Amino acid sequence: MSRAKTLSTDYLTAELEVLCRQPSSTGQLPELRQMARIVANSLRRSGLHTRIIQTPGAPIVLGHLQGQRPETLILYHHYDVAHPGPWSQWSHPPFQMAEREQAIYARGVAHGKGALVAHLYAIKTLLHREGQLPCSVLLVAEGEGLYGSPHLERLIRRHVLNRPVIGCLTTAGERDKYGKPFCYVGSKGLLRVRLSADGAALALPSGLATSVSNPIWQLIWALNSIKGEDEDIRVNGFYDNVNGPDRKDRTILRTIALDEEGRLSAWQIDDFLFGMRGSALVRSEVTLPTCNLSSFTVEPPNMVVSIPTRASACLDFHLVPDQDPDDIVHLLVQHLKDRSPSTIEIERLPGGYRAVRVDHQHPFVQQLLHTAERVYGQSLTVLPFGPFALPLQLVSSQLGIPVAVVGLARHNSAMYGPNEHLPVDDLMQHSQMLIDLMYQYGQQKPEGRLSEVEVAQQESETGC
């Protein structure tokens, strides 16, 4: 099969504009349901057979196409994006795509929708020039990727489990100081909880603070008992299953070159925690679990000097291998019970998953690295994890397949802030890498190849 000539970038930018035009903030179900229909239409335009799977939350969109080989490459994506925040902080409306200085600006271009369109561009290109994909593809696009993926596991069991699968490829992370994407051979796990404290049944004057408990203070004290100023997580047993990097990992981590000054400038911070630099900074992001406070809510929400009725805070934990979300919840519950008296309620939020890691010598990873080296002109640095959590364990554990993650965004892409953007060339290279990777799989001799009848039977059973 000859190497495909790429289409014009007009297709990529036009398709991305369609997706970015529709708001799809995490947790906003009306937006996400409309976005799922738009994503499904985009998948159809690329040539994929498409289904929308309804869930109690945001729909999951599946796109599948049989290739020259029946073995399937899974492409994981999410179409939910971060809330745009105040529009006044954007140089243009966040859901109106703009192009400036060879970069595309809009919410989702660097985190979610950009990677999705880049992969659709690759599929469209191959079909346009060759008429058939070198290998089969299953694209999974969910609307709760930033919400813990609570409905993804069931979908995999019902619609993906019986397929012959090569591996799962997705996009996350960033680039080194030279602009080269990182390749990650795993992802941290995720646990999300909400802590709440109740006060009186109605808001009271602040002068009663000497005699009536304030739920805000109760919550602050509880949070301080979980994590202190030294950034250490104080929950008894939290670190019991945390193992540091082995010798091989330590050697790799010492060679990583983060763009530290670029980060500080783009994020407008004076320094990293404890003044960390070099390998210490890399090691903290790659190997350590986290406890992050993502939101704090007070009821009633007003500026009046009063004692509120309720306060709540959402915490998320990025977990490393051997840390089980169920175990961590149990430890948190016990920790709060041991505080005397404990007035804090804890609620586990939907979704969550364990960490997963693949041996970097796995043929799936090595083929990806070999392909990426040709596209980017140099070898990619391989990391076990990055500063993110993805539901890859839900895919890997059920299907018994390898996973890999390739970075796309840059440190100044503002994925969660105003003026999110990404260079067009980055999207094109991301697309070209998938084109070349699929060619490589098409040229390999299949192992245990299924007959066309068996493939058709499995597709009938899974409904896609």
Cβ pair 83, 76 in contact under 8 A: no
DSSP letters along 355-404, please? -EE--TTSHHHHHHHHHHHHHHSSPPEEES--S-B-THHHHHHHHT--EE
For the entire predicted model, the pTM comes to 0.92
% of the chain beyond a pLDDT of 90 = 84
Residues 116-127 as b or e (16 or more Cβ within 10 Å = b)? bbbbbbbbbbbb
- Determine the CATH number of domain 189-242+288-348: 3.30.70.360
pLDDT of residue 445: 46
Q: What is the pLDDT of residues 23-60, one digit of tens each?
A: 999 999 999 999 999 999 999 999 999 999 999 999 99
Pick the CATH number of 9-188+355-462 from 3.40.50.280, 2.30.40.10, 3.40.630.10, 3.40.50.620: 3.40.630.10
pLDDT of residue 444: 63
- Could you state, in order of their start, the residue ranges of all structural domains in the chain? 9-188+355-462, 189-242+288-348
pLDDT category at 452 given cuts 50, 70, 90 is very low
pLDDT category at 3 given cuts 50, 70, 90 is low
pLDDT of residue 150: 97
Other Cβ atoms within 10 Å of 206 Cβ, number: 12
Maximum separation of any 2 CA atoms in the chain, in Å = 79
Cβ pair 447, 70 in contact under 8 A: no
Comparing CA positions, the residue from 143, 149, 56 lying closest to residue 354 is: 149
Q: Kindly report whether the peptide bond that precedes residue 341 is cis, defined as omega within 30 degrees of 0.
A: yes
Integer Cα distance of 56 and 144 in angstroms: 11
pLDDT of residue 461: 46
Contacts (Cβ under 8 Å, ≥6 apart) of 32 = 24, 57, 58, 59, 79, 80, 143
Phi/psi at 286 (5° precision):
-90, -40
Q: What is the pLDDT of residues 214-253, one digit of tens each?
A: 999 999 999 999 999 999 999 999 999 999 888 888 888 9
Report, as an integer, the average pLDDT of 197-206: 96
pLDDT category at 2 given cuts 50, 70, 90 is very low
pLDDT category at 309 given cuts 50, 70, 90 is very high
Other Cβ atoms within 10 Å of 288 Cβ, number: 17
Cβ pair 382, 252 in contact under 8 A: yes
DSSP letters along 294-343, please? EEEEEES---SSEE-SEEEEEEEEEE-TT--HHHHHHHHHHHHHHSSS--
- Which of 175-184, 298-307, 319-328 shows the highest mean pLDDT? 319-328
Quick check: 166 pLDDT over 70?
yes
Quick check: 462 pLDDT over 80?
no
pLDDT of residue 7: 60
pLDDT of residue 340: 66
How does the average pLDDT of the chain come out, rounded? 92
DSSP letters along 66-88, please? --SEEEEEEEEEE--B-----GG
Integer Cα distance of 158 and 421 in angstroms: 36
Helical packing angle, 392-399 and 152-159, nearest 10°: 30
pLDDT category at 299 given cuts 50, 70, 90 is very high
Task: Give me the residue label for tokens 């192009």.
Answer: 99
Cβ pair 23, 100 in contact under 8 A: no
Quick check: 136 pLDDT over 70?
yes
Comparing CA positions, the residue from 301, 296, 330 lying closest to residue 218 is: 296
pLDDT of residue 456: 38
Please tell me if the domain spanning 9-188+355-462 has the same topology as the one spanning 189-242+288-348.
no
% of the chain beyond a pLDDT of 70 = 94
pLDDT of residue 8: 73
